[in-house]
Structures are given as C-alpha cells and as structure tokens.
Amino acid sequence: MTTRAAVVQGVGGCVPPRSVDNIELSSRLATSDAWIRERLGIARRHVADGMSTVDLAVEAGARALEMADTGAGVGELDVVLLATTTPDRLCPASAPEVASRLGYTGTAAFDVNAVCAGFVHALATGSALIRGHMADRVLVIGADVFTTLVDPGDRLTAAIFGDGAGALVLRVGTPDEPGAVRAFDLGSDGSQVAAVEVPAGGARDRLGMPVANQRPYLVMDGPAVFQRAVREMTESSRRVLAKAEWEADSVRRFVPHQANIRIIHRVAERLGIGAERVVANIQDVGNTVAASIPLALADAHDAGRLAAGQRVLLTSIGAGLAWGSAVLTWPKLEGKARL
C-alpha cells in the first residue's frame, strides 16, 4: 500500500484594512516608535474594525482554496480546521460557520485552541486525518482578532499584537513529492498556565470559583515567556528535524511564530540558521497569534521567497504553555496569496 501524506496545495492570507503604526500608538501610550522597533521589531499592526475572526478566516480560506483551484462546492473539501483563541462566540465553535460561508455546509469542521501554537497543532491534525484515510482534502486556517483581548492601555501588549488570518489547503499525496508535510513535534507545560493568560471570563470565573487575577485582558510575564519561547522553539525544532532526518543546514526557509524579533533571531542563531533563510513579517503585522505562521507563509510566497522543493521548518509556542514544530517541502504554487 502506498504511504499517504498531506501535501500543501494552496496558501492564503488576510489582514483587516486598518493599520496602526507605532507613531499612532505612541501618541496615546508611554512608548515610542524607536522602543517598539528595537525591542519587538514591529513598525505597524492591523487591527480588526468591523471584521471578526470568522470574517478574516473566510477571506484567507477563500484565497487558499482559489490558489488550490478547488472551487467552492460540497464534496470537494472533507474537513475545515480553524485554529483560534478568539472565536466569534463562546459557543458554538467558529469553524462550522467558516465552512458554511465558504460553501461547504455539511462538511466536518471544528476549532483548535493552542493560542500561538494553534496553527501547527491544527496542521498536525489535518495531516493525521489525511494519513489516516479520514480525509483527502483539508482546509487549515489560523485566525485571531487578539487585539480584543489586549488592554489598550498596556504599552507592551498593545504594541505586540495584531489581527489577521492565514490558511493552507492540504490534499492527499505521497511523502516524496514537493509540498509534502514530513514530521511534527508537539508539546505542552500546563504548570506554566499563568505565564500568559486572560484570567477572567472563563468557566471558573462564571462558577464563582477562585480566580487569581480578575483582569479581562491578557496578562503576560514577558521575561519568563521570552526564555521559555527560545528554549522550547529551539528544542522542538531540533526534535522535528531529527524525525525527518534533516540537518538544519538543509533548511532553506525557517518560518517561526512571529512573537518578537529578538526571539526569532535568538532561535535561528541557536539552530545555526542564517538570517537570509529566516522568514519574518512581524514588522508589518505584529504578533497575529494563530495566524502568525500561515500569514508569514502567504507573505513569503507573494514575495517570491518560497520555491518548489525548498525544505521549510515551522516552529511556534503559545500560552498553555503549548508548542509545536513541523517540517515540509514547499510545492509549486501559482497566484497571489494576499490581494
């Protein structure tokens, strides 16, 4: 029996129209353009204004499907996976609405929540469904309007996060063809839940159970997160490269979660991956959480930085703590991922 593999067939991305640069941000916060650029590597970010997570996910998914030339119609897509921490509603999941709006009513659809690591976890799920003969084509989307969870008066988190969506279409194929997803490494450490969290508003809060911090906004221990992000993304990358039997020198494009530029550079240095092979779009979009990696892939494709047959390494970490890495070869793709 021929071994099945998930193969990338299309990529798409979308950000809200409203762009907030550092000058605008510093006009109301105790910060500056120079500080944000130096510490975070961000010049601007897009902020949802009249566009929800589902709206962004539909746009990114439609662009990925158009590139994959699957069209829109029931029976041409088996599963829709949406990685998000900001669903449009607490209940139900947002993925079924995304599927329906794309023309796939009746198709299996569900959300995956691993925050900034969510897309890699969703990609692993979609790949497993294909390899396990449960699907032949899967749409994997990462989308977040995380600025809705950020205190607008917090100069650090308000500067870091932006909103957006990115998507990949996976089809059934073979492990030796361009576009094949080769291996994954996933992990978590729930003892560090308080390192990055939105404390209030969950079931514990609604049940009247003790909640250490009643803030309805993101709370983050920056130094602790920096250290764990560098460590876990580096080690997870090494493990997934070992699974694929690849050397770091053979990776042509390194696409890390766009957490901040210092984390990106530190992980690349530890892996021995030169700056010319690193994909970063954080300067223009900020940290877009689950959208981070697929949006970076979409922008790299449009910029001509991804070529058929290139070895690509993805790595991420998010609240939870949860982390994940993947390796794949890039396929030949035609068309624009973002308008």
| Catalytic hit among 14, 257, 281, 301 | 257
Active-site annotation holder among 14, 113, 116, 260: 116
Active site annotation includes 287 = yes
* Selected catalytic residue, list 22, 121, 287, 301: 287
Q: Would you call 91 a catalytic residue per the annotation?
A: no
Q: Which amino acid is at 217?
A: Y
Active-site annotation, residues:
116, 257, 287
